[in-house]
C-alpha cells in the first residue's frame, strides 16, 4: 500500500463514517504540480495523493475554517475537518492550539512520516527525486509531533545539512552596515504582494498591522522603507510562533530569503528561553508573562 | 561641528519620568539630545514603536522602566524585559548596531542614575555616528506654499 | 528581411542608454526584471519572460499623483507629472499586447483618459523581441496573439542565426534605426514553435456560468495574495491615498505639513478589495473574488473597454502558490458552454 | 458635462462655508469651490456625486445633496464611518478641502415628468434624493403626485427635518416618516420603511419609485414594490460601492460588467436585474 492509497483509505473511512465533513490533502494539478485539495465527497478521495512535491503547509487553511474555543457553543454545523500534515506542518497545529485558534476535537490529523520535499515542488513539472528543500535537509524529526493517524514510518535520517544555518553564519560575520545593505537589496525587490503572509499558518490577524486603511504603521506605498517595516515587523510577530516550514520563502516571487529572518528569531528564542515553536501547544515566551524566577 | 545624535527616550511615567524630573530639579547635567516620550509603562513600548522610531530617523532609542518588582502595574516591565532580546537580535541581524537600542531600569529616586544612563547612551551613539537606517523615498516636487492670507502668529 | 548584427544592436543600445533612460531585462536573484540599465552589458539577452510585464513602466506599482502643502486651513497642490523619455528593450509580444489592453482603459474613449499613463506612453519607445518558442505556461495564440506578433511595438526584433531580423513598425522605430548598418537577406525568420491552443469562451458566453459551484471550489485553495494581479500585464486596479511625504523630505517650515497623494497597485483577489468603511464586504469569499478576476479578464473588460484583458503570457500560472491555473479555468468554463477552438481569433 | 480638464484625478480646491450637525455622527458640509471653479458644478443634476478630499487622509465619494438652482454652495451629508469621513468631521468652517466632480449619471428627471413619484429615503441615503425633491418642488407643475417615505433608525437620524414643512405644504405632496425605535416625544409611525410602504400602499399606475438607503433596505423595499405591481423600469435606485477614481478606470466599483461610477450610480431595476452580481 503506497502512502497515497493509505491516505485515501483513511479519508474514505473518515468521510463515510461522517467523522469529518472535509479532508484537506494534496492532489495532482495541471502540469504535474501538486496542490492543496479539499475533498468532501467519498468518491472524490481518489484525488488525494502523497508525493515528494507536497510542499504546501495545509494548516494555513484551518483558522479560517474551524471555530475558536470561546465560540464553540454548539451553534451552527460542527465542521470537523481532517488534514494531511507533515512533521513541520504538525508543529503549526500546536501553535494554533496554543493560541486557541480552534479546539483540538474539531480536527482529525492524518500525520505522514516524511522523507523530505524536493526543491522546485509547487512549480510546473517538478523533478520528483531531485535535491531536497533546505528545510528538509536540516530536518531531523521525520514523524509529526501531533497526529490522530500516522501514515508510513519515519525513514532514518541519513545525512543532515543546514544551508540556512550556513547562510546565517555568513551574515553574522558581516558588519552591521554590510547586513543592512544585504537586506535593503532584497527588500527593494519586494512587491508587497503579501504571498508570504497569506501562506503563513501563523499569520492570521483579521487586519494586518501593515495593511490598515489609515496607514497607521506603514503607508500604502510599495517603497523600500514600507517594505522593510513590513518584513521586520512580520518577522518579529512570528518570534516563537514560526515553525520553519519556509513556505514564505518558496512562494516569494522575487526570492527574498525570508527564512533567514525567521531563523534569526527562532535561534534567539531557543538561546534565551530554550523554546522551539510548535514542539508542544505552549504559546511563545515573547507573548506571555515572565515566569517567577526569571527576574 | 560635532555630531549631535537624536535620541528618542521612552520613559515610564511612574519611575523613569519622575527620575528624569528629579535629575532636572537637582540640576544634574545630562545631554539635551534625549527627546522624552512619556509612556504609562515600559510595557507600553511595543517593538513596532521602536522600529518606527528608527524608521523616522532616530539615531538611538532608550527605553527606561521601573526596576523588576517595582512596576506600578506589577508585570509591565517583565513583558518589556522579554520583548527586548528578540527585537535586539532582529534589528542587529537587519543591520542596526545593537548599541543604538538600550533597555534599562531607573526608579523615581534615581535622578543621578538617570543622568548617567542618558549621557552614557548619548556618548555611545555619538561615537557610532549618524544612523543610516532610514531610507528616504524619491525626492518629489513640493508645492510653493501660497502666502497664507492671515499673518501667521510669531 | 533586414538583419542587424548582435554587435550593431549592442552599439545601438549603448547609444540609446546614453541619451535616454534604457529599460531592459536584467537578471536579479534568480528572476528577470525590467530595470533601467546603464549599457547593453547589463542586459540579460537570453531571457524567457520577465517576472513582471512592462506594465510597471506605464502604470508603476507606486505613483505620486500630486503633492500637498497644508498649513492650518490653507492648502496648496502641486501636480507631479512624469517627465522622462525612455526606451524599453526586449518587449515580448504578450507584454506589448498587454499595453494595448491598458490603452483601452487609460487612453480609451469610453472613460476619461489618464494623463499620467498617457504622458508615459508618449515618452516611451518599445523595442519588441519575438519569442523563438512558446514557454510551458504560454497560450498567447489562444487569445489572439502570437510569439512573433509585431503590431504593438515601435521596432520589432526576431532572433536569427547571425543577429536579429529588424522591422520598424512606427516612425519612432525608424528614427532608432537611422545610421544603423543593416544587411539585406532574402527569406524570413523561421516561425516559432507553438503550443496547442486553449479554448477561450467568447465574452458573451460567460454569463450563465456566474452562479456555477466551480468558482467556490476553485476559491477554496486560493490564499488571497495579490501575486496574480501584480504580475499580470493587464490588471490595472489601483488604490489612492494621501500619505506624509517620504521620510527625509519635510520642508524646514515646521508649521507646514507636506503630503503626497499616492496611487498604488491593488488586486481584486485581496481580502479587503471591496470592504467598505463600516466593515461590510460584498465579496468576502475567496471564490467570489477569483470569479471576478476571471470574469473581468474574459467577460467584463471586453464589454467595458473592448479588448480581451488576457494576453496569454502565463505569468499568473507560474507564480500562483496554489496552482490556480487560468488555462484550467478556461477549460472548465468551456466545458460548461460549447466553444470552438480558435483557429483564427480576431485581435 | 463640464469641460474635459486634462487631469480628472486632480481635485479642485474648495472651502467649507458651512459645517452643521444634522444628526449624531452625520454632518452637513456646505462647500464652495475656489478660484472661480464653481462653474464646473453649475450643470450638476440630481443623482450625481463628487469626491471630497480630506487632505492628509484621502478622498471618498459622496452624493451631492444640493441643487444648482438653489445657489452655488454644494452640500453633502457625511456620516462618520471610515478614515476619510473621520478626517472630514475634524474640519471646521473655513478649512479647505478638495472636490472632484460632478461624476456619474443622474436621475432621468425629464422621463419622470407628468408621472406620479414615490421617493423612499433611508437614513443618510436621503441626501442624494434631496436634489430630486428640490427639482420636483421647484418645477411642481411638471410632475404628478409626490409621495415621500422618509425613514431612519431613530428620530434624531431623520435628515433635513427643517424642510419637512415645505415638503408637506407643497401642492399634491404627502410626507410619511417612520423610525425603527422611537424616543419619548415621537408620535409618528414606528417600524421599517417596508411596513410604512404597505400601509400607504401607493398605486403603481403611472408612478415611478426612487429608492436610496442602506443596500439591505433597497433590497427589501424593491422586492415589496415588485409585489405591489411596480414594473422594473418603474423602480430606480442609486447604488454605492468602494471607489477610488470615479472615472471608470480603477475597476473597483464593478457589479458584473457595469461600473457604478460611470454606468451609474443611478440604475433602473430593469438594469440591476440584468446584473449577475448582487449589490448586497
Q: What is the pLDDT of residues D126-169, one digit of tens each?
A: 999 999 999 999 999 999 999 999 999 999 999 999 999 999 99
- Domain locations along chain A: 3-151, 163-285
Residue C182 grid coordinates: 543593416
C-beta atoms of D256 and C274 within 8 A: no
Residues D137, D203: one domain?
Answer: yes
Helix (H, G, I), strand (E, B) or coil at B39: strand
Residue numbers of D between 45 and 84 with CB closer than 8 Å to A: 57, 82-83
**Closest chain C residue by Cα to residue A35:** C322
Residues D114, D230: one domain?
Answer: yes
Residues D32, D54: one domain?
Answer: yes
> Whole-angstrom Cα distance, residue B128 to residue B58?
13
Q: In this complex, is the C-beta atom of B148 within 8 Å of any C-beta atom belonging to chain C?
A: yes
pLDDT for C74 equals 87
pLDDT tens-place values along chain C, 347 residues long: 899 999 999 999 999 999 999 999 999 999 999 999 999 999 999 898 999 999 999 999 999 999 999 988 889 999 999 988 999 999 999 999 999 999 999 998 889 999 999 999 999 999 999 999 999 999 999 999 999 999 899 999 999 988 899 999 999 999 988 888 888 888 888 888 899 899 999 888 898 889 889 999 999 999 999 999 999 999 999 999 999 887 566 566 778 888 999 999 999 999 999 999 888 899 999 999 999 999 999 999 999 999 999 999 999 999 999 999 999 999 999 988 755 555 544 33
Q: Domain for residue D178, yes or no?
A: yes
Residues D65, D147: one domain?
Answer: no
CA C108 centroid distance within chain: 16
Q: Which chains touch A (3 or more CB pairs under 8 A)?
A: B, C, D
Residues D123, D167: one domain?
Answer: yes
CA angle (A58 as vertex; A52, A61 as ends), nearest 5: 165
C-beta atoms of B86 and A229 within 8 A: no
Specify the residue for cell string 545593505.
A181
CA angle (C83 as vertex; C82, C89 as ends), nearest 5: 90
Distance from CA of D42 to the nearest CA of A (A): 34
Q: In this complex, is the C-beta atom of A277 within 8 Å of any C-beta atom belonging to chain B?
A: no
C-beta atoms of A207 and C272 within 8 A: yes
Residues D81, D125: one domain?
Answer: no
Q: In this complex, is the C-beta atom of C84 within 8 Å of any C-beta atom belonging to chain B?
A: no
Residue A137 grid coordinates: 535537509
Torsion-angle region of residue B73: left (phi > 0), alpha (psi -120 to 50) or beta?
Answer: alpha
pLDDT tens-place values along chain A, 295 residues long: 799 999 999 999 999 999 999 999 999 998 999 999 999 999 999 999 999 999 999 999 999 889 888 775 554 456 799 999 999 999 999 999 999 999 999 999 999 999 999 998 988 888 888 899 999 999 988 999 999 999 999 888 878 888 999 999 999 999 999 999 999 999 999 999 999 999 999 999 988 999 888 888 888 999 999 999 999 999 999 999 999 999 999 999 999 999 999 999 999 999 988 999 999 999 888 887 655 544 4
Measured in degrees and rounded to the nearest 5, phi and psi for residue A83 equal -140, 140
What residues of C are in contact with residue B145 (Cβ under 8 Å)? Answer: 69, 71, 74, 76, 253, 256
Residue D134 grid coordinates: 428640490
pLDDT for D11 equals 95
Residues D86, D66: one domain?
Answer: yes
Residues D92, D143: one domain?
Answer: no
Q: In this complex, is the C-beta atom of B154 within 8 Å of any C-beta atom belonging to chain C?
A: no
C-beta atoms of B93 and A179 within 8 A: yes
Q: In this complex, is the C-beta atom of C142 within 8 Å of any C-beta atom belonging to chain A?
A: no
Residues D60, D117: one domain?
Answer: no
* Residue of A171, A173, A176, A235 to mutate, interface with B, max B Cβ within 10 Å: A176
**Is there a contact between C20 and C57 (Cβ–Cβ < 8 Å)?**
no
Q: In Å, what is the CA distance from A46 to each residue of A9, A126, D191?
A: 9, 21, 55
Predicted confidence band of residue D1 (pLDDT cuts 50, 70, 90): very low
What residues of C are in contact with residue A30 (Cβ under 8 Å)? Answer: 323, 325, 327-328
Domain range for residue D38? Answer: 12-103
C-beta atoms of C105 and D249 within 8 A: yes
We report the CATH number of the domain holding residue D147 as: 3.40.50.80
What residues of A are in contact with residue C241 (Cβ under 8 Å)? Answer: 215, 219-220
B90-98 mean pLDDT: 95
* Residue of A290, A293, A294 to mutate, interface with B, max B Cβ within 10 Å: A290
Nearest-by-Cβ selection for D10 from C79, C237, C259 = C79
Residue C326 grid coordinates: 487560468
Size (chain D), residues: 280
Measured in degrees and rounded to the nearest 5, phi and psi for residue B93 equal -65, -30
C-beta atoms of C327 and A30 within 8 A: yes
Q: Domain for residue D21, yes or no?
A: yes
Q: In this complex, is the C-beta atom of A23 within 8 Å of any C-beta atom belonging to chain B?
A: no
CA D64 centroid distance within chain: 7
Distance from CA of C222 to the nearest CA of A (A): 9
Nearest-by-Cβ selection for B132 from A180, A267, A269 = A180
| Cβ count within 10 A of residue B116 | 15
Helix (H, G, I), strand (E, B) or coil at C311: coil
Helix (H, G, I), strand (E, B) or coil at D53: strand
Helix (H, G, I), strand (E, B) or coil at A63: helix
Among B59, B56, B18, B21, which Cα is nearest to B40's? Answer: B18
Among B96, D153, A64, which Cα is nearest to C219's? Answer: A64
Q: Domain for residue D258, yes or no?
A: no
Q: Domain for residue D262, yes or no?
A: no
Q: Which chains touch C (3 or more CB pairs under 8 A)?
A: A, B, D
Among C11, C175, C7, which Cα is nearest to C85's? Answer: C175
**Is there a contact between C238 and C267 (Cβ–Cβ < 8 Å)?**
no
**Is there a contact between A58 and A25 (Cβ–Cβ < 8 Å)?**
yes
Does the pLDDT at position D48 exceed 60?
yes
We report the CATH number of the domain holding residue D42 as: 2.40.30.10
* Structural domains of chain D, count: 2
Residues D31, D68: one domain?
Answer: yes
DSSP state letter for C298: I
Nearest-by-Cβ selection for C248 from B134, B145, B152 = B134
Q: Does the pTM of the predicted model rise above 0.80?
A: yes
Residue numbers of B between 102 and 141 with CB closer than 8 Å to C: 134-141
Instruction: Give just the sign of the alpha carbon dihedral D245, D246, D247, D251.
Output: positive
Does the pLDDT at position D237 exceed 90?
yes
Distance from CA of D163 to the nearest CA of A (A): 36
Q: Which of D103, D124, D141 is the last residue of a domain?
A: D103
Predicted confidence band of residue B106 (pLDDT cuts 50, 70, 90): very high
The residue that leads in pLDDT, B144 or D18, is D18
| Cβ count within 10 A of residue B89 | 20
DSSP state letter for B117: H
Residues D72, D150: one domain?
Answer: no
pLDDT for B147 equals 47
C-beta atoms of B94 and A180 within 8 A: yes
C-beta atoms of A179 and B82 within 8 A: no
- Burial (CB < 10 A; 0-12, 13-18, 19+), residue D232, is middle
Among A57, A59, A60, A64, which Cα is nearest to A34's? Answer: A57
> Whole-angstrom Cα distance, residue D267 to residue D246?
16
Residues D115, D169: one domain?
Answer: yes
Domains of chain B and any CATH numbers: 7-128 (3.40.50.960)
Q: Domain for residue D265, yes or no?
A: no
> Whole-angstrom Cα distance, residue A68 to residue A74?
12
| Cβ count within 10 A of residue A230 | 22
Distance from CA of D249 to the nearest CA of A (A): 19
Amino acid at each position: 500500500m503506497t502512502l497515497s492509497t493509505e491516505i485515501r483509505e483513511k479519508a474514505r473511512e473518515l468521510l463515510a463514517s461522517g467523522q469529518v465533513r472535509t479532508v484537506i490533502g494534496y492532489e495532482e494539478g495541471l502540469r504535474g504540480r501538486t496542490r492543496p485539495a479539499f475533498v468532501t465527497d467519498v468518491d472524490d478521495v481518489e484525488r488525494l495523493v502523497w508525493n515528494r512535491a507536497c510542499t504546501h503547509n495545509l494548516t494555513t487553511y484551518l483558522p479560517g475554517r474551524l471555530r475558536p474555543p470561546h465560540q464553540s457553543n454548539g451553534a451552527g454545523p460542527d465542521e470537523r475537518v481532517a488534514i494531511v500534515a507533515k512533521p513541520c506542518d504538525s508543529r503549526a497545529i500546536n501553535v494554533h492550539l496554543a493560541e486557541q485558534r480552534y479546539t483540538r476535537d474539531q480536527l482529525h490529523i492524518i500525520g505522514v512520516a516524511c522523507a523530505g520535499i524536493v526543491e522546485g515542488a509547487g512549480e510546473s513539472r517538478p523533478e520528483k527525486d531531485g535535491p531536497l528543500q533546505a528545510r528538509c535537509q536540516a530536518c531531523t524529526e521525520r514523524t509529526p509531533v501531533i497526529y490522530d493517524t500516522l501514515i508510513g514510518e519515519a525513514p532514518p535520517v541519513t545525512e543532515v545539512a543546514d544551508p540556512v544555518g550556513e547562510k546565517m553564519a555568513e551574515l553574522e560575520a558581516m558588519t552591521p552596515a554590510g547586513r543592512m545593505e544585504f537586506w535593503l537589496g532584497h527588500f527593494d525587490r519586494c512587491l508587497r504582494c503579501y504571498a508570504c503572509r497569506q501562506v503563513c499558518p501563523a499569520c492570521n490577524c483579521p487586519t494586518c498591522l501593515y495593511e490598515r486603511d489609515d496607514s497607521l504603521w506603514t503607508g500604502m506605498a510599495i517603497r523600500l522603507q514600507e517594505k522593510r517595516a513590513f518584513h521586520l515587523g512580520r518577522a518579529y510577530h512570528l518570534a516563537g510562533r514560526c515553525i520553519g516550514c519556509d513556505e514564505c520563502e518558496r512562494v516569494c516571487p522575487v526570492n527574498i530569503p525570508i527564512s533567514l529572518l525567521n531563523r534569526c528569531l527562532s535561534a534567539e528564542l531557543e538561546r534565551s528561553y530554550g523554546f522551539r515553536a510548535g514542539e508542544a501547544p505552549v504559546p511563545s515566551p515573547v507573548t506571555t508573562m515572565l515566569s517567577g524566577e526569571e527576574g | 561641528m560635532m555630531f549631535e545624535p537624536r535620541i528618542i527616550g521612552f520613559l515610564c511615567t511612574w519611575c523613569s519620568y519622575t527620575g528624569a524630573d528629579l535629575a532636572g530639579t537637582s540640576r544634574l547635567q545630562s545631554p539635551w539630545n534625549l527627546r522624552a516620550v512619556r509612556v504609562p509603562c515600559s510595557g507600553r513600548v511595543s517593538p513596532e514603536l521602536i522600529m518606527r522610531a528608527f524608521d523616522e530617523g532616530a539615531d538611538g532609542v532608550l527605553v527606561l522602566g521601573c526596576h523588576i518588582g517595582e512596576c506600578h502595574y506589577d508585570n509591565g516591565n517583565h513583558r518589556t524585559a522579554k520583548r527586548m532580546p528578540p527585537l535586539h537580535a532582529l534589528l542587529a541581524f537587519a543591520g542596526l548596531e545593537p548599541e543604538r537600542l538600550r533597555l534599562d531600569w531607573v526608579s523615581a529616586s534615581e535622578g543621578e542614575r538617570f543622568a548617567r544612563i542618558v549621557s552614557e547612551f548619548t556618548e555611545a551613539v555619538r561615537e557610532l555616528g549618524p544612523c543610516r537606517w532610514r531610507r528616504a523615498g524619491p525626492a518629489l516636487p513640493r508645492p510653493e506654499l501660497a502666502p497664507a492670507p492671515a499673518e501667521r502668529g510669531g | 528581411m533586414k538583419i542587424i548584427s548582435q554587435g550593431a544592436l549592442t552599439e545601438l543600445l549603448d547609444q540609446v542608454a546614453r541619451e535616454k533612460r534604457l529599460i531592459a531585462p536584467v537578471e536579479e536573484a534568480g528572476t528577470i526584471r525590467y530595470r533601467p540599465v546603464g549599457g547593453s552589458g547589463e542586459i540579460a539577452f537570453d531571457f524567457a519572460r520577465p517576472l513582471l510585464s512592462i506594465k510597471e513602466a506605464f502604470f508603476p506599482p507606486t505613483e505620486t499623483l500630486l503633492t500637498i502643502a497644508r498649513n492650518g486651513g490653507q492648502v496648496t497642490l502641486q501636480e507631479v507629472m512624469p517627465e522622462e523619455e525612455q526606451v524599453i528593450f526586449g518587449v515580448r509580444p504578450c507584454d506589448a499586447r498587454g499595453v494595448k489592453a491598458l490603452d483601452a482603459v487609460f487612453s480609451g474613449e469610453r472613460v476619461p483618459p489618464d494623463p499620467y499613463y498617457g504622458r508615459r506612453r508618449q515618452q516611451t519607445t518599445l523595442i519588441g523581441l519575438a519569442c523563438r518558442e512558446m514557454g510551458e505556461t504560454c497560450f498567447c495564440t489562444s487569445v489572439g496573439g502570437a510569439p512573433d506578433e509585431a503590431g504593438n511595438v515601435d521596432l520589432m526584433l526576431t532572433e536569427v542565426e547571425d543577429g536579429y531580423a529588424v522591422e520598424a513598425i512606427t516612425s519612432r522605430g525608424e528614427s532608432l534605426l537611422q545610421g544603423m548598418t543593416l544587411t539585406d537577406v532574402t527569406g524570413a525568420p523561421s516561425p516559432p514553435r507553438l503550443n496547442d491552443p486553449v479554448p477561450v469562451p467568447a465574452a458573451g458566453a460567460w454569463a450563465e456560468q456566474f452562479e456555477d459551484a466551480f468558482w467556490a471550489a476553485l476559491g477554496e485553495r486560493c490564499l488571497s495574495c495579490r501575486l496574480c494581479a501584480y504580475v499580470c500585464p493587464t490588471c490595472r486596479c489601483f488604490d489612492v491615498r494621501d500619505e506624509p511625504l517620504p521620510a527625509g523630505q519635510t520642508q524646514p517650515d515646521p508649521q507646514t505639513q507636506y503630503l503626497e497623494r499616492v496611487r498604488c497597485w491593488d488586486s481584486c483577489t485581496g481580502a479587503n478589495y471591496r470592504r467598505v468603511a463600516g466593515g461590510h464586504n460584498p465579496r468576502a469569499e475567496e471564490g467570489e473574488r477569483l470569479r471576478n478576476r476571471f470574469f473581468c479578464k474574459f467577460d467584463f473588460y471586453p464589454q467595458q473597454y473592448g479588448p480581451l484583458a488576457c494576453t496569454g503570457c502565463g505569468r499568473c500560472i507560474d507564480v500562483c502558490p496554489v496552482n490556480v491555473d487560468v488555462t484550467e479555468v478556461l477549460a472548465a468554463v468551456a466545458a460548461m458552454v460549447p466553444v470552438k477552438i480558435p483557429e483564427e481569433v480576431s485581435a | 458635462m463640464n469641460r474635459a480638464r486634462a487631469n480628472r484625478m486632480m481635485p479642485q480646491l474648495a472651502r467649507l462655508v458651512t459645517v452643521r450637525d444634522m444628526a449624531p455622527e452625520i454632518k452637513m458640509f456646505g462647500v464652495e469651490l475656489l478660484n472661480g471653479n464653481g462653474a464646473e458644478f453649475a450643470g450638476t443634476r440630481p443623482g450625481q456625486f463628487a469626491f471630497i478630499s480630506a487632505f492628509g487622509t484621502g478622498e471618498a465619494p459622496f452624493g451631492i445633496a444640493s441643487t444648482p438652482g438653489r445657489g452655488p454652495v454644494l452640500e453633502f451629508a457625511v456620516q462618520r464611518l471610515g478614515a476619510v469621513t473621520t478626517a472630514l468631521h475634524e474640519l471646521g468652517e473655513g478649512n479647505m478641502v478638495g472636490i472632484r466632480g460632478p461624476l456619474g449619471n443622474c436621475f432621468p428627471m425629464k422621463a419622470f415628468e407628468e408621472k406620479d413619484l414615490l421617493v423612499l429615503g433611508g437614513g443618510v441615503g436621503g441626501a442624494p434624493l434631496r436634489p430630486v425633491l428640490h427639482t420636483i418642488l421647484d418645477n411642481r407643475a411638471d410632475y404628478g403626485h409626490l409621495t415621500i417615505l422618509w425613514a431612519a433608525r431613530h428620530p434624531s437620524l431623520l435628515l433635513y427635518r427643517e424642510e419637512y414643512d415645505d415638503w408637506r405644504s407643497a401642492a399634491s405632496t404627502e410626507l410619511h416618516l417612520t423610525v425603527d425605535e422611537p424616543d419619548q416625544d415621537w408620535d409618528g409611525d414606528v417600524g421599517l420603511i417596508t411596513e410604512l410602504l404597505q400601509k400607504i400602499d401607493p398605486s403603481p399606475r403611472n408612478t415611478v419609485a426612487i429608492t436610496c438607503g442602506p443596500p439591505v433596505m433597497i433590497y427589501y423595499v424593491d422586492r415589496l414594490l415588485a409585489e405591489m405591481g411596480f414594473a422594473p423600469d418603474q423602480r430606480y435606485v442609486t447604488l454605492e460601492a468602494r471607489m477610488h477614481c470615479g472615472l471608470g478606470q480603477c475597476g473597483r466599483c464593478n457589479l458584473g460588467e457595469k461600473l457604478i461610477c460611470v454606468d451609474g450610480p443611478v440604475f433602473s431595476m430593469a438594469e440591476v436585474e440584468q446584473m449577475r452580481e448582487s449589490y448586497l
